[in-house]
Structure 1
């Protein structure tokens, strides 16, 4: 089934060349090249292809030799020894059916390679965007810590001129410590995800990864093409398996035919010494033909029933997989929409939170700054920024899952 290989190969090219950023593409290519699981599936496919060559062989040629201990006497002389050769041949078309069956199994194993590659691409993409989110959260926390240090200096100045108390300075310092703790936690999570990412690429777990520094959700989201779902490798796999069972049944029917055997017997004859006869000592050559007929073989009918049931099972499994992929697609689509809604909400909230911060700072020019309100506003801004990063990550994670399902 060459068309299946063509379809799923084109699908991989579409995913890697259109759906992802260039830097992520590079990591995906490294993963596809180095990942041990992919290499294992490729070796398995090579074995399946090699079995196609194995399937076109004939049964072993039989050779025999015999020596007459008591030499039978014939008219032309006593028989001394016997040599024989025999070759069994399958019924017409059996070898072709066997080759087609092996080839169909190789096609089925090829779909396993494609599925493994697509899953690896999805896993690498998910890990990449998790690294982005953890890195971005660390940067946000660093910026807020720097901002708190700035306000700490303002508070210290206020203490000197009597506009605020030293307690406010301590509150700011405590908040800085809390944020630094969160930053260090995110840093450890980043290092753990970095190890997982590098192992997916089968490279040194401590290798640095160039993660994109800024991401935004696009203003327009491309439509989901549900028609492409039928071309998903997880569904093509069932088509390949169904075809392999079809080929197995054709081979089974060929097995119901007789096997032919051809051979040759050679008998060495010694010359008679007691008389001179015509063809004295002439050796015997006897061509042989045999036929093997499966008269009492009930396994053929049983295998036919098994193959029919197996095809029905494959059809049910494919229908189940279609329902699963459709469900995953619907959920991913809704989750991506929710991520966009959350992102837009956080942007509006951030604009208002910045305005609130500016109002507090302007009030400081005329009166004592309310550091409690300031801390509340800064904490609100931090949560908004972290939620925005989470929304961006979720948007791209759901987009990656949609790409995996639809091959857009």
Structure 2
């Protein structure tokens, strides 16, 4: 059931869709990198026509194309591709974060629904006690005050239940927003327990976390950018062609009269003043060191968060087991009190005290289950 909700949230999430579109843009930039500089085309008309031996020059058309140094386009493609790889990691991170949010909200919703059921069961139990108290009043084994105390206790539990109903509606609204769907009731499991044994986990799993992999991808993109910067610092070669239209000279007859001029051109662009590229190289070196520091800091943060989640999950397990023992002992005490009623006067204050303890233990056990799975969601995000 939970896996279906996670899948639905992932498929419908506008946040994930937006990041996927960013990745598509990054991939398209790889194609854009495989281009040459704009071809230059120029045309001119001689207002004052220069005369040559073969005739007057009438017009000129020029075509120029600059070519980057060998390997520059490949370096540009590799750099764009590395940025696309880093953008893809963002998709993985977003999906994992969304899965964690859905999981945590699901178990919060489970706790709210289960607590309401427990309160309803306690209300029914108090109704039974109220009938016993009324019968006891008739045979002088209890007073009217005992009945009123039971009714006050019922009012308190009813109030708790109504407050939880409001919290459940708010949590369902949050869950529907995560699923990106219209408001509708959310189905959760009827009963959830904590596994008998703690799952095995090695902290080395953290090394493969996408948030850390993102830094690796960015580091790689800076290395690719360094190669690209070095390639762009090399000369560029240009090739071109000039065409000049020549008008025939009148009243003259020779072989090249009016012959048009074709002039191939070769040019070289040399970055003599290359302080720009040296500065970029220094900036990239600084960025590499910055990323190393950021990755180490983020790794420490994730490591601390993982260890804290593991400890809190162990605490939730201990609390769950303790409340289970307390619930069993409270039920034993309840049975002893009810058996005393068969032969003696029933102390309804003791009944209320035991009932209150039993309710407290049940609610704390549900809270322990919720906390266990909230921490499990964090652990799964950090380690899987």
* TM superposition score category, shorter chain reference: over 0.9
- Which residue does 1:212 correspond to in 2? 189
1:274 CA drift (Å):
4.0
Q: How does 1:57-72 map to 2 (within 5 A)?
A: 57-72=35-50
Partner Cα separation in structure 2 for residue 271 and residue 121 of structure 1: 81
Asked if residue 168 in structure 1 is aligned to residue 146 in structure 2, the reply is: yes
Partner Cα separation in structure 2 for residue 65 and residue 336 of structure 1: 77
Asked if residue 345 in structure 1 is aligned to residue 322 in structure 2, the reply is: yes
Q: 2:268 aligns with which of 284, 291, 294?
A: 291
- Which residue does 2:217 correspond to in 1? 240
1:277 CA drift (Å):
2.8
Q: Secondary structure of 2:343's partner?
A: coil
1:233-279 deviation line (CA, Å, top 9, x unaligned):
00000000001111111100001111111111101111111432331
- Which residue does 1:266 correspond to in 2? 243
The unaligned stretches of length 5 or more in structure 1 are: 1-22
- Which residue does 1:4 correspond to in 2? none
Asked if residue 304 in structure 1 is aligned to residue 281 in structure 2, the reply is: yes
- Segments of 4+ in structure 1 off by > 4 A? none
1:71-93 deviation line (CA, Å, top 9, x unaligned):
11101111111111111111111
- Do 1:264 and 1:286's aligned partners in 2 also have CA atoms closer than 8 Å? yes
Partner Cα separation in structure 1 for residue 329 and residue 249 of structure 2: 123
Partner Cα separation in structure 1 for residue 131 and residue 303 of structure 2: 57
Q: 1:31 aligns with which of 1, 4, 9?
A: 9
CA RMSD of aligned residues (A): 0.8
Aligned length: 384
Partner Cα separation in structure 1 for residue 90 and residue 155 of structure 2: 51
The unaligned stretches of length 5 or more in structure 2 are: none
Partner Cα separation in structure 2 for residue 182 and residue 275 of structure 1: 114
Partner Cα separation in structure 1 for residue 342 and residue 35 of structure 2: 95
- Which residue does 1:277 correspond to in 2? 254
Partner Cα separation in structure 1 for residue 327 and residue 164 of structure 2: 22
Q: How does 1:5-16 map to 2 (within 5 A)?
A: none
1:228 CA drift (Å):
1.5
Q: 2:52 aligns with which of 74, 99, 104?
A: 74
- Which residue does 2:295 correspond to in 1? 318
Partner Cα separation in structure 2 for residue 285 and residue 35 of structure 1: 62
Q: Secondary structure of 2:256's partner?
A: coil
- Which residue does 1:8 correspond to in 2? none
